Amino acid sequence: MWGIFLIIRKQNVNRTKGQAMGFHFRLLLLFLSPVSVTVAVYRDSADVPRLGPPIVDAHQREIIAFRPDFASLPCAVRGRSSTTAYEWRKDGHGLILTPAKYRLVDGELQIFSLKRPEDEGKYQCVAYNEDDAEISLPTYLRIAYMEPFERTVRLPIVVTEGDTFRIRCDAPDHYPLGAYSWYKGFPLQRVEPDERIFISNKNGDLFFRYATLQDSGNYSCEVAPHMYYPTAHSPATSVILRSGNVTSRPPHVVLSPEVVHAVEGQTVTMQCFDDAYPVSETVWKRRARREASDELPLPENAVLQSNDHLLILPDVRRDSDGYYSCEVENTLGRMSILGRLTVNVPAKVTSPGTETPLRLGENITFKVTFEGTPPMTVTWYRNANEVVTSGKYVIKGDTLTVTDLRFTDRGRYQCMVQNEYGADQVFFSLVAVEPAIVTPLQDPQTAILGENATVSVSWEASPPLTISWRHGDTTVASVNMDDTQTVTIINPRINLTKEGWLFINDVTPDDEGEYTVTVSNQFGQAQASNHLTVIALPTEKLGTNNIPLVIGVNVAIAVVIIVGVAVAVWIIRKRRRDRVRSPARPDAVILRPGRDEAFRVRLYIDDKVPVNEDFGTEDTQALTADL
């Protein structure tokens, strides 16, 4: 059995049906609401929020164009809107977007009819709206190319059986570094590397540990810069074998590790090949210094390939730096040779950006900390324009000082740190927001007599501001929203939260009325108002029937209550008054009013006792008289 009670003031028994319906609905909402009442203030739909500056997300350090007729440079922006506009700069200068050469599609720069080296270089996207602008980190455009092999006839190589020999690829200039393969004879047969044969991944040269009679023939080198780029084949090189005997010999390294300068995150390959016979075993080791005798373990992700002639180090880090030795040994001897890996670190900002309130007339200094392989450059930007030392700005390497602050100095300052291997950036904001308050609800809000109420307001303003509250024409509380949080209280029952909200303890009838909040700082002020209505609960008394009262406290019960009230009100209001025969009803318990002149009607909804009576004006008077 579900119980529902409605609270009605005696002086309102003559209101119209429309008024009664609205009052019932308000009371139902109050019944289902928590004890603490919040008077919320919301943004007016007519207000246009600040978009904030666009933020360029995507950044590729290098883009390689493999098509000679087309290249695309993306400019992905967060906070993009219909008012966001774009421009591009090449090598620090604005790019003139001639229709035959360039096209701009949602910030993406499309370049046609590429020419090398004219179209190669450093590109930066600038995205801007009415609030601010941002320039992207640099992207370097490279155009893939492959020069043709020289078509001159290559001299034959004459080798004695058992000797070590090498066929040079002599690949033409090309970019990016290609993959090398070798083919022999006609039809072409691919030469597969093994413990006797090795192909250098640096220049494509083909090495034979010792020659056999089957090695005679014509050899051609193939270079493939990219899977989508045409391959190129060298002129044939003839190998002529003379009979002989394979002689045993200790190892001698003919292709040794070299000094490798890598960028953090790259994959590094070191190679080592010797001419030993019998075939040697290859072991790779690592140490921190050239003279050091103590070994360091190879990086955990190190991989050995091509019969251990290749040492592959994926995703190198600073701790991968050091000396790598290739040790080859057979039964006749042993040889060791060193290679050096230097890992260069791209520029990286190590300090977070800050958001600082603007204070008129003061100076502000922004400082950035960073790391990376020197030399490093630091560039400061404001609205995508480079900031230089002047009467307004003072730049000293990693710091920028803005002097004599004015309201027009508000916004974001961008610091870009670069070296040869990468770039990073950080943003500093000077926040200066004129006070703005969201518009209050039009419907008055309610609080329960004797309970607590919180009147909240949503505002935006910077730097720190003052918030004051008035009840009618009387100021009841104020607070300075700075570090001190100084609060002034007029009424001991009223306090302010740390957010500046008004908190009313033990609500009384005198608390009802209009509340106005004023938010102000050095750039202006704003106000908003809302009405607080106080509703009193009746005094709690039990009837003689002692009917149990069940109050729903979860969502399921609340749904039943709402549906039950809707059905009950609809049926009651549709009944004719001439159906009222007696005030003594088995399905209604009338309690004597308390001192606040309110009384309670409890209606029970179940399958046995339907609610089907309306207590109108005459009925109410009769029922009250009978009590």
pLDDT digit string (tens) for 461-492? 777 678 899 999 999 998 887 767 788 888 88
User: Whole domain around residue 576: which residue ranges?
Assistant: 2-32+538-626
The H-or-E segment that residue 123 falls in is strand 121-128
Q: Is residue 303 part of a domain?
A: yes
> What are the contacts of 475-484 at 24+ separation with CB within 8 A?
476/502, 477/502
Final residue belonging to a domain, choices 490, 515, 535? 535
- Same structural domain, 555 and 568: yes
Q: Is residue 559 part of a domain?
A: yes
Q: Is residue 248 part of a domain?
A: no
25-34, 280-289, 315-324: the lowest-pLDDT one: 25-34
pLDDT digit string (tens) for 154-213? 999 999 999 999 999 999 999 998 899 999 998 889 999 999 999 999 999 999 999 999
Report pLDDT for 602.
40
User: In angstroms, how far is the first alpha carbon of the chain from the final one?
Assistant: 26
Do the beta carbons of residue 270 and residue 256 sit within 8 Å? no
Report pLDDT for 440.
55
Q: Is residue 247 part of a domain?
A: no
Query: What is the 8-class DSSP label of residue 349?
Result: E
587 pLDDT tier (thresholds 50, 70, 90): very low
What φ, ψ does residue 337 adopt, rounded to 5°? -140, 145
The structure's pTM equals 0.65
Report pLDDT for 68.
87
Query: What is the 8-class DSSP label of residue 33?
Result: S
Report pLDDT for 591.
37
Angle at 371 between CA 365 and CA 374, to 5 degrees: 110
CA distances from 165 to 84, 206, 254, 257, 570 (A): 63, 9, 10, 19, 104
- Same structural domain, 525 and 542: no
CA distances from 15 to 24, 250, 417, 507, 570 (A): 12, 114, 73, 26, 17
CATH number at residue 391: 2.60.40.10
Q: Is the pLDDT of residue 103 over 90?
A: yes
pLDDT digit string (tens) for 229-256? 788 999 999 999 999 988 999 999 999 9
Q: What's the average model confidence in pLDDT over 409-427? A: 94
Do the beta carbons of residue 392 and residue 403 sit within 8 Å? yes
CA distances from 476 to 504, 517, 534 (A): 11, 10, 18
- Same structural domain, 447 and 417: no
105-119, 289-303, 576-590: the lowest-pLDDT one: 576-590
Instruction: Calculate the dihedral angle through the C-alpha atoms of 292, 293, 299, 304, rounding to the nearest 10 degrees.
Output: 120
Angle at 234 between CA 233 and CA 235, to 5 degrees: 125
If you average pLDDT over every residue of the chain, what do you get? 79
Instruction: Calculate the dihedral angle through the C-alpha atoms of 250, 254, 258, 262, rounding to the nearest 10 degrees.
Output: -110
- Same structural domain, 41 and 97: no
Q: Is residue 314 part of a domain?
A: yes
Q: Is residue 607 part of a domain?
A: yes
- Same structural domain, 449 and 520: yes
Final residue belonging to a domain, choices 181, 216, 242? 242
- Taking the C-alpha atoms of residue 33 and residue 17, their distance in angstroms, rounded to an integer, is 24
- Same structural domain, 156 and 201: yes
566 pLDDT tier (thresholds 50, 70, 90): low
439 pLDDT tier (thresholds 50, 70, 90): low
- Same structural domain, 43 and 64: no
- Taking the C-alpha atoms of residue 241 and residue 60, their distance in angstroms, rounded to an integer, is 51
Quote the number of domains for the chain: 6
pLDDT digit string (tens) for 120-141? 999 999 998 887 889 999 999 9
Q: Is the pLDDT of residue 227 over 60?
A: yes
Which DSSP string corresponds to 382-403? ETTEE---SSSEEEETTEEEE-
Radius of gyration of the chain (CA): 42
pLDDT digit string (tens) for 347-357? 999 999 999 98
Q: What's the average model confidence in pLDDT over 285-314? A: 91
- Same structural domain, 195 and 227: yes
- Same structural domain, 525 and 575: no
Neighbours of 92 (CB within 10 A): 10
28-37, 141-150, 405-414: the lowest-pLDDT one: 28-37
Q: Is the pLDDT of residue 551 over 60?
A: no
The residue among 30 and 72 whose pLDDT is bigger is 72
Report pLDDT for 290.
83
Report pLDDT for 464.
67
Final residue belonging to a domain, choices 433, 458, 492? 433
pLDDT digit string (tens) for 3-47? 222 222 233 333 333 343 443 444 344 334 433 333 333 333 333
Side chain identity at residue 121, one-letter code: G
- Same structural domain, 166 and 132: no
Do the beta carbons of residue 479 and residue 467 sit within 8 Å? yes
433 pLDDT tier (thresholds 50, 70, 90): confident
- Taking the C-alpha atoms of residue 322 and residue 343, their distance in angstroms, rounded to an integer, is 9
Q: Is residue 583 part of a domain?
A: yes
Report pLDDT for 268.
96
Give the pair of three-digit tokens for residue 382. 């404001």
- Same structural domain, 518 and 454: yes
Highest mean pLDDT among 36-50, 113-127, 516-530, 584-598: 113-127
Q: What's the average model confidence in pLDDT over 334-338? A: 94
Place of tokens 């009467």: 391
Nearest to 498 by CA among 486, 506, 507: 486
- Same structural domain, 422 and 461: no
